Every structure is written in structure tokens, then in C-alpha cells.
Chain A
């Protein structure tokens, strides 16, 4: 009996000291507690295999929407921006794609679709993007064969992640701009706008 009473009090102790303060922090704190910080990484750990003027290598990847998205299906219809990110649940990536949520109009104004690509599998990407609050663009999984598309473009790192890269492809399927950024730094929005605007200025 005495042990039971002790157990009840220890449970109360846990609730008062640990559980209540943790819950009181709210959703934002709880999300950022889940972010894994890999620390500073080698800025670029891949060798780009495409260049401006090339026909962008075609691919088909599973999307979170359940569709299989094929790059060449946009040919003649839309400009395409591919955003390769290294990994879900990491600090910079978690602060890159959500920013594109408020610039959707600028993509549409330039007749461009955005395809986000990560080497994570679909369930991981689903959980992460739901936690972020959702994204307006297609998120594609380059999980299997692992990093195959990233490798085709030459942005697959030696550790199996992709480098942080942006590829701009016009309606003819030609690469008009690309940037393999320092993996530790988010590419500035100015660059994205500059390349999007070039779609319309041609």
C-alpha cells in the first residue's frame, strides 16, 4: 500500500515538474525541439553534372500527393524550378521551403511550377511537411534508387544527402539557371526572383 502511495506521488511530481512545463511551451517550441541540427557541414560535397543550356535530365518521382511526377510532362506548358534540399527535419531546410509558401504568386506570375526534391522517403517527408503546416508545391521523394535524380544532376553528396541546389528549367526543357549553394546557408530569395523573372523576360 505504501509503495502505491509513493508511486502516485512520484507520478504527480513528474507531472508538476516535467509534463506541465513541456506542454505549456506550445506548438512552436515543440516543433523546433524535433529539429535535428547536424552542425556545420562541408559546404558543397558534389560535382554538378549539368550546366546552363543543357536539356534537363528527365525523371519521374513519387510525390506526396500520391502522383508520379515526370519532369518532361511540363514541357511546353510550364517553366520548372527544382529545389533540391539535403534532408527533412534539419534547420535550414525547415526554414527554406516554408518561405516559398508566401511567394507562390510570383511563381504563378512567371508560369513556373516548383518541385521540391529530397532523398527522404515519402512517410518522412509527409510527417515533416505536415508539421511545417503544408506546402503548395509538389514534394518529391528521391529515396529509391537512393538519390538517383540528385546523382543525375550531380548534386548527390558522398553521405547520401543532396546538396542545396536550385535548377531553373524553361518550357523547352532547357536549364536557364542553376545554383549549388553552401549547404549551411539558405539561398536568398533575391536569387529565386531574379531567375523567375528571367523566364518572362525572354
Chain B
């Protein structure tokens, strides 16, 4: 009788584990980045960073950003965890830029969930953020991207002629910028 209970439990655990891993894999395997349109920034440094040729005020698609990997940060100026995470995200950005020496170009953009342009700029100035931040006042982009709280991160593989492929989703920040970079590179197939 005991062996029947044990066998039942072991089979149940194995089944649940396999199902869980299988579901996660299938969710992320071929997810394309939703088509997101932003306004070409006035700031020339941002335009150069993103590799945009358009005129300020015109629209561009995230897919047009020049690079191999794109990391989108979903944040809010009002979110205490985004405030706390900002220095680590800056560290990540510095490390990401250093990857260019290895021939891998990683670009980072932030989308301010429910934030105005003024609020996004205040957040940028407060934490000395160097990568471009865009307001998402109506949460339209957040919803389209399937945001699940802030801070949230979506890593995408760019560089092929098709649509960007989502390779990583992370809600709630990360412990180590080095570890997060390694995770992103691995998911994007660079390690």
C-alpha cells in the first residue's frame, strides 16, 4: 500500500515538473515582439544611439533600432522598486555597452508606464540615466508588451531582417547586472 502512495506521488511530481518546464519553454520559444511605435527623440545623442535616421517628431518602430539585442525596461518614476533598481540598471547599461568590444551591440530603452514626458525626464535626471526613456502615458505600450509590474524587462533579439524575437522576460528587477547580462546574452544565443 505504501509503495502505491509513493509511486503516485513521484509520478505526480514528475508530471507537474515536466508540464511546468514545457509550458515555460513553449511560451518563450517563438514570441515575436509586438509592433511598438515611438517618436524619434529631439536629442541627437539618443538618435545616434538608436541608429535612427528619421526627423525628430516622426515615428519609428522598435524593430528599426540598430543593434543585435534590445532590452526594454518597463518602469515608472513613481515605482519605489524602479527607483531602487535604477543604479543597477545603469550598471547593466555600462556593461552592455562594453560588449561592443566583443562585436555585440546591446541597446536599452525605457518605457515610463503611465508617466508623462516631464516625469520620465525627472526620473532620468535624478538617476543620471544615459539610455533613452520614452513616456507611455496611456499604458498602451505596457499593455501591448504584456507588462507584469514594474520594473520589468523584455530582452529581444534584433539584427535579423525579420521581426524582433523576445528571448527574455523578467519582472521585478535583477540581483546582479553581470548576472543579468550573462542571462540575456545566453538567451539571445551569444554564449
Q: Is A16 at the interface (CB under 8 A from chain B)?
A: yes
Residues of B within 8 A of A98 (CB): 78-80, 83
Give the CA-CA distance A102 to B79 in the complex, in Å: 10
The listed residue with most B CB atoms (<10 A of its CB), out of A17, A95, A193, is A95
* 9-residue interface stretch from A25-33, A64-72, A80-88, A107-115: A25-33
Q: Is B149 at the interface (CB under 8 A from chain A)?
A: yes
Select from chain A the residue with minimum beta-carbon distance to B2.
A2
Q: Given the known inter-chain contacts A98-B79, A98-B80, please indicate yes or no for A1 contacting B2, CB distance below 8 A.
A: yes
- Chain A, interface size: which category? 20 to 34
Select from chain B the residue with minimum beta-carbon distance to A95.
B78
Binding site of A, secondary structure by majority: helix, strand, loop or mixed? helix
Residues of A within 8 A of B171 (CB): 25, 28-29
Residues of B within 8 A of A159 (CB): none
Residues of B within 8 A of A13 (CB): 9, 12-13, 16
Q: Given the known inter-chain contacts A98-B80, A189-B119, please indicate yes or no for A27 contacting B172, CB distance below 8 A.
A: yes
Residues of A within 8 A of B79 (CB): 95, 98
Residues of A within 8 A of B116 (CB): 188-190
Select from chain B the residue with minimum beta-carbon distance to A16.
B13
Q: Given the known inter-chain contacts A101-B83, A102-B77, please indicate yes or no for A5 contacting B13, CB distance below 8 A.
A: no
Give the CA-CA distance A96 to B79 in the complex, in Å: 8
Question: Is there an interface contact between B151 and A28, defined as CB atoms closer than 8 Å?
Answer: yes
Q: Shortest distance in angstroms between A92's beta carbon and chain B's nearest beta carbon?
A: 9
Residues of B within 8 A of A28 (CB): 81, 149, 151, 171-173
Residues of A within 8 A of B119 (CB): 99, 188-190
Q: What is the interface size of chain B, counting residues whose CB is below 8 A from a CB of the partner? A: 31
CB-CB contacts of B106-123 with A at 8 A, as 1s and 0s? Answer: 000000001010110011
Residues of A within 8 A of B176 (CB): none
Give the CA-CA distance A80 to B88 in the complex, in Å: 34
Q: Is A174 at the interface (CB under 8 A from chain B)?
A: no
Question: Is there an interface contact between A133 and B80, defined as CB atoms closer than 8 Å?
Answer: yes
Q: Given the known inter-chain contacts A9-B10, A26-B173, please indicate yes or no for A2 contacting B1, CB distance below 8 A.
A: yes
6 cross-chain CB contacts under 8 A: A5-B2, A13-B12, A13-B16, A28-B151, A32-B149, A98-B78
8 nearest A-B pairs in the assembled complex, by CB-CB distance: A99-B78, A28-B172, A9-B9, A2-B2, A6-B5, A98-B80, A95-B78, A133-B80
Which residues from chain B sit less than 8 Å from chain A, CB to CB?
A: 1-2, 5-6, 9-10, 12-13, 16-17, 20, 76-81, 83-84, 114, 116, 118-119, 122-123, 126, 149, 151, 171-173
Apart from A13-B13, A102-B122, A102-B126, list 18 A-B contacts with CB within 8 A. Answer: A2-B2, A9-B13, A12-B9, A13-B12, A16-B16, A16-B17, A17-B16, A25-B171, A25-B172, A26-B172, A28-B172, A29-B172, A31-B81, A98-B79, A99-B119, A103-B122, A189-B119, A190-B119
